[in-house]
Every structure is written in C-alpha cells, then in structure tokens.
Amino acid sequence: MKWRYGKQDWKTLERGQENCYLMTNGLGGFSSLTVTGSAARNDHAFLMACTKAPNNRYNVIHRLAEKLDIGNETYILSSQEFADGTREEGYRYQTGFSYEDTPVWQYLVNGVEIAKEAAIKQKENTAAVCYRIKNRSRSAVSLTVTPFYQFAPKGEEPAQENRVMYTEGCVESGGMKLYYRTDGCDTEMPETEEAYYYSYDVCDGRRSTGRAKACHRITMTVESGCENILSVVFSTEDKYVKGNNTAGQIKSVRDLAESVIDELKKTRRELEVTAGLEDETARCLVKSAHQFVSRRESTGGETILAGFPFFEDWGRDTMIALPGICLSTKRYEDAVSILRTFARYEKNGLMPNLFPEGKSEPMYNTVDAALLFINCVWLYYKASGDLAFAGEMYPVMERIIEYYMRGTDYDIRMDDDGLITAGSGLDQVTWMDVRVGEILPTPRHGKPVEINAYWYNALRIMGECARLLPDKCADGKNADEYDAAAERTRRSFEEKFWMEEHHCLKDVVSGTKADSQIRCNQVWAVSMPFTMLEPDKERMVVDTVFEKLYTPYGLRTLEPADPEFKPVYGGKVLDRDLAYHQGTVWVYPLGAYYLAYLKVNGYSESAKTYVRSQLEALYGALREGCIGQLPEIYDGAEPVMSKGCFAQAWSVGELLRVYEALERTAGRKQHGFCSSIS
C-alpha cells in the first residue's frame, strides 16, 4: 500500500506536522520525522541510534536542514518550528510525499525538481539519504544539506557543554562517534546551535523545546539542464568510512546509499510474501508489524517493542502482541525466540513485565503475562504444528499453573471458588495499571474479568496439552485434573460475573463500585480460544460492548454514561493518567471485539462481510499520525486524532489477527476456538 500526500496536507506548517513516517532497524533504533521533514517531537530523529539493543537509544541526527541556491536566490526547503517563534517554511516548495517502504519527499522550485529518499539499514545504526536533483532552470543550482546533531539519550536534552567536533568523515560529541560518507562537497563550519519548539510534545505536557548543533555542511552543484544525485550515508560503524570499506563490493557512496534503500524495500516485500495475506491493508500491517521486532542484547533473543516513540519491551504487551506480530505473519522463528526468552526468566510462576538492563533485576508486576504466555504457546502450536516446542515449554506452563493455584507474588492466587484474585495496596498488575502517587485511578484488585478469562483458557490449554503430551505430565496433573479445575472456574465465573440486568459481565469482583462499571475487558471472555459462557450470553456481551464502548478506531475503556468517564486525553501527566483508562479509546481491544463478533456469528460469510466493511475505517487511521501504523489511543468522546504512542505493537498485532481470521478461518474448532459447551 503506497500512501500519497500532497500540498493539501500541508496548507500550514501545523498541518504538515500532523503525520510522520517510521523506519526501524531491528535493534531499537529508528528514523522518524514528519511528512514535511520537521522534528515536531523531541523523540523525532533522522537517526535514533541504539548502542545496546533495544533500549539504549541516542538521538544522534535530529534533523536535516536543506536549502537550494539558484543563481543569487536562496530557497529554504526544510521545515521547522523554532523556540523563538521563527520558522522554516520549505513545505511551500514541497509538492509531494509518499511512503510505502521508504519515505520520499518531492520539491519544485523555479524549474528545479528534487526527490529525496531515505532508508535505515536492518541490524545496524546506519541511515542513508539520496537527493535526486533535476535542474531544468537556466542557472546552475546548489543544494546544501546541514545535519543537526544531538548525541543525547532519547528524550533528554543534550548537555550544553558537549561540543560537536568535526573531522573529515566523522562527527563526535560526548564520547560518541558518527561516521559518514558523501559524494557531495563536505565543508566544516563554525559550531551552530538551533533551539526547537515541539508542538506535539506541548499538547501532551512534555518538554516543549530542545537543541541541536551543526558543524559541517554538504553541498552539490548541478549545472543548467543536468541531473545528479547527492548521497549521504551515516553510521555508528566505521566500516563505511572511505578507505575502510568492508561492505562487499560497493565502490561509491551512491551505490552504498542505494543498496541501503533497496535492501529495506526487499526486506519489506519479502515479509508480505511470507505472511501470504491477500487484503491490501493486511499486507500493510504485516510490514508495520516487522517494525516492532527487535534484538535484545541482554537475553540474546528477539523481543517486541511495545510502541514508538515512547515504550520499550514489556512482558504483558509482548504476550498480547505476539500472536499477531509473529504468528499471523508466519514469523515462527521469532515467536520461538521470544517465548524461549520468557521461559528462561519465569520466576515463581510469573513472567517479567520488564526485562533487566545492566545490573537491574527483571520486574514481575503483571498477573496476565504468564497466562498469556500459555496462550501464545498454544496458538503457536495451532499455527505451526510444532508439538515439540509445546513439549519444551510444558514444564514452564505447569509451574505457572501450580504457582497461581497455591499463590505467588503480588497477592496472585486461586481463591476457593477456582477464580484468580490479584493485587493489593498500590499493586498495578493488570493492563489498566496507572498509578498517580498514592492514587490508582482504575483499582482492579480482586478478580478481574479478563484475568479469569485467561485463567480458564490456560487451564483448558493445559488439559489439551496433557492429552497431546502424556509423557510430560507423568509427575504432574493429568488432563482430567485440569479439566476439573477449568469446570469449577467456569461455574464460579458465570455465577459471580454475569449481570443479567446489563446483559454483560462485571469488570471485576471486588465488592466495590468498580465491579459494575461497563468496560472493554469483558470482550476477552468471548474472544479467547477457550471460553466459559453459553452462546446466547456471549452474543449479549458482544452486543453490549458494541452499544456502549465501540468506535471504529477502538473500544472505549469505560462507557460514556459512567460518572467517571473522561472524554479527552491530554495535558499534563496527571491529567493524562487520570483519563488513560477512564473512557479513552484503545485500539488493541478492537481486535478482540471483531474476533468475538465473528465467533458468535459462526464465522459466516455475512459476518465476515460486515467486519470487512467496518475495517474500512482503518484506512483513515493508518493514514493519520504515523503512516501505515496504528496508534495506542484516541480521545474517548471524539476519536479523531491518534494520541500516546503513534505506533503500538498490540494495536497492529490484534488487528492483524482479525484480517487473518477473515482470510484463513474456516470454522471454530478447526482453529482452536471452543466455548464451554462445544
């Protein structure tokens, strides 16, 4: 899917900063600027390098300033807001922007056409940019590109005392070096500092300004009636330095830059082929999914980054995102690598919510990640047929169940009724995990609905695995014991969660007013592979969720009629946190809703047609914000502009699962979906 934008999309600089592109390198590094080439956030960067995958990230090249000289006239091509209120307004000369596999900007100035294309190399902190200059004017023209550097940890202000020092082919600051090659004329210049205004950080109460420095400029002159290409390659590795080239048989900077661009395009097209999905939007999401998969140096395996530009890899997010990011795309090796990593870090039946960095220990404050780990192993087996891997994971899965039954950290334990209770005090153990000082805006201590849906699902999976792997359960529970535990959970769940007057499920069983709040968490009690409710009640849950919580871009976290509903997400941290789960629209539960809708309608062709028609709204979501990506959240009242992370892994993954179900699901049992009575 090729996304095209024109001058109508940047009538003003503000409009031109509404949308951005994203390219990632599989190490945690990325490149992201707006469609007009500006940095509208402190996390925007032409090259955000990662020195230790995936979280030690440095904003190295913040932006590229560009100007064109035609005769005695100078035209600024770059766009940027500055802290003193001034602006560069190069968008006035910009005629187009497109993004499919790489971002391409187009400019036209008095008979001179310029097409700029950039790419980032996989598994390296390397970025390339090519400017194709076609001079149809009567004068010689000169294009000058000035990189502005930060060399600062992601999200932090560069140290004022850090100078940016130039030597030919290398820029250094704060002990960090960036190498580059170019076929333009590279000239040292006095250190120059710019101060920026970040309009998209201001609206979220984040740091509003930032700085970057330049110490050299790169120029290419093109005579009248001629064409040429200005190429620049930047890298934290010195192998691309002139005279030290070990990158194959590449002989010129242009060949090197174009190889980076071509390699990225080839990689992304291969992802589409491997996934084998037919729908155009689904193929776009397959490539978007790839951007979240990253190496994790501390574990030596793959991981899934929760979201760009803010988040790292979290256990809960990974387990929710993995089925779509890896299984719907047929990236089975990545799925195995990720699950093996989590299996190694299982502790007291829990999975890490945050992995270790340096000498720090993993954090295990999540009740859902371990149960979803069992679900991921099952879905992997159903997708790949790899029973041996399920056998490898079986002992870990057994430990999870045993610890949940007898009790583990964070007050996670099975109660006498067979249901899981979790959390106390200021614990934050479900995905609605905001804490503001001593306040939990959405306290869910007790028996959360989705946790018990995951628990029942895990028990049923263990029963199935015990039957498939009888040699693995010789010293543990057998299939009948797991089935009996599941049946007890099912009876208690229906008795304690069902609200007949509302035709839906309680959000939590805690004895507080939070119990009867209508939230989106109940949808997972219908969408999981194994579920507990009678078919008519499942249908009522789906209909109630649609009536009270559904929007085309996601599900509201709280119904608008609730007194605690917050219609807008934004402002200072406190304001954002208080609204985060109090009505704010989240994209990722939409996947579970559509899967639940298809299920209760028997995956009929009419149901599939209906879901496809509703999914058409995603085209607008994919075009807005981060191009080709799905965001984290929207406002609860009017979900018209993406907020939070502009690219969120579980949003992409869960919607990919819907497209996969539309194309590949022939029936319920064939694909592992069962209710309590099937």
Q: Are 647 and 318 in contact (CB under 8 A)?
A: no
Q: What is the DSSP letter of 252?
A: S
- Which has the closest alpha carbon to 291: 276, 315, 271, 277? 271
Pair of tokens at residue 228? 């040429």
Predicted pLDDT at 668:
42
pLDDT category at 667 given cuts 50, 70, 90 is: very low
Work out the number of other CB atoms within 10 angstroms of the CB of residue 226.
Answer: 13
CA distance 147 to 150: 10
- The 10s digit of each residue's pLDDT in 182-241 is 999 999 999 999 999 999 998 877 889 999 999 999 999 999 999 999 999 999 999 887
Helix (H, G, I), strand (E, B) or coil at 598: helix
pLDDT category at 671 given cuts 50, 70, 90 is: very low
CA distance 647 to 629: 5
pLDDT category at 674 given cuts 50, 70, 90 is: low
What average pLDDT does the segment 269-288 reach? 97
CA distance 483 to 459: 7
Is cis: bond before 448, omega within 30 of 0? no
CA 85 and chain centroid, separation: 32
Residue 597 predicted with pLDDT over 70: yes
Q: Name which residue leads in pLDDT, 94 or 577.
A: 94
pTM: 0.95
CA distances from 582 to 69, 211, 630 (A): 53, 36, 21
Predicted pLDDT at 669:
42
Predicted pLDDT at 328:
98
- The 10s digit of each residue's pLDDT in 525-536 is 999 999 999 999
**Residue for token digits 């294309």?**
117
Predicted pLDDT at 428:
87
- Which has the closest alpha carbon to 644: 551, 568, 570? 570
Q: Which fold has domain 276-671?
A: Glycosyltransferase (1.50.10)
Residues 6+ apart with CB under 8 A from 31: 21, 22, 23, 24, 45, 46, 47, 48, 118, 120, 127
Predicted pLDDT at 283:
98
- The 10s digit of each residue's pLDDT in 16-49 is 999 999 999 999 999 999 999 999 999 999 999 9
SS (H, E, C) 408-445: EHHHEEECCCCCEEECCCCCCCCCCCCCECCECCCCCC
Residue 670 predicted with pLDDT over 70: no
Q: Are 289 and 591 in contact (CB under 8 A)?
A: no
CA distances from 265 to 62, 247, 279, 402, 426 (A): 24, 19, 19, 47, 47
CA distances from 661 to 327, 522, 600 (A): 12, 20, 14
What average pLDDT does the segment 612-633 reach? 96
What average pLDDT does the segment 280-287 reach? 98
Q: Are 114 and 68 in contact (CB under 8 A)?
A: yes
- Detail the DSSP E strand segments found in 236-372: 293-296, 301-304, 307-308
Q: What is the DSSP letter of 158?
A: P
CA distance 232 to 180: 7
Is cis: bond before 158, omega within 30 of 0? no
What average pLDDT does the segment 145-151 reach? 98
CA distance 261 to 104: 11
- The 10s digit of each residue's pLDDT in 56-110 is 999 999 999 999 999 999 999 999 999 999 999 999 999 999 999 999 999 999 9
Domains of the chain, residue spans:
3-267, 276-671
Residue 425 predicted with pLDDT over 60: yes
Helix (H, G, I), strand (E, B) or coil at 309: coil
Quote the mean pLDDT of the chain: 94
Helix (H, G, I), strand (E, B) or coil at 335: helix
- Detail the DSSP E strand segments found in 240-363: 293-296, 301-304, 307-308
Pair of tokens at residue 540? 């009522």
What average pLDDT does the segment 585-600 reach? 98
Q: What is the DSSP letter of 374?
A: H
Q: Are 58 and 151 in contact (CB under 8 A)?
A: yes
Residue 152 predicted with pLDDT over 50: yes
- Which has the closest alpha carbon to 116: 102, 131, 127? 131
Predicted pLDDT at 355:
76
Residue 248 predicted with pLDDT over 80: no
Q: Any idea which of 302-306, 528-532, 534-538, 568-572 has the lowest mean pLDDT? A: 568-572
Residue 676 predicted with pLDDT over 80: no
The strand pair at 126-135 and 30-32 is best described as unpaired
What average pLDDT does the segment 429-458 reach? 91
- The 10s digit of each residue's pLDDT in 320-339 is 999 999 999 999 999 999 99
What average pLDDT does the segment 568-578 reach? 86
Stated length of the chain: 678
Predicted pLDDT at 242:
63
Angle at 88 between CA 85 and CA 89, to 5 degrees: 115
What average pLDDT does the segment 396-405 reach? 98
Which residue intervals of 498-554 are DSSP H helices?
Answer: 524-527, 535-549
- The 10s digit of each residue's pLDDT in 350-382 is 999 987 665 678 889 999 999 999 999 999 999
On the CB side of 639, CA atoms within 13 Å amount to 25
Composition of the chain by helix, strand, coil, percent to 5: 35, 30, 35
As a whole-number percent, the residues of the chain with pLDDT over 70 amount to 96
DSSP string, 642-665: -BS-SEEHHHHHHHHHHHHHHHH-
Assigned CATH class of 3-267:
mainly beta
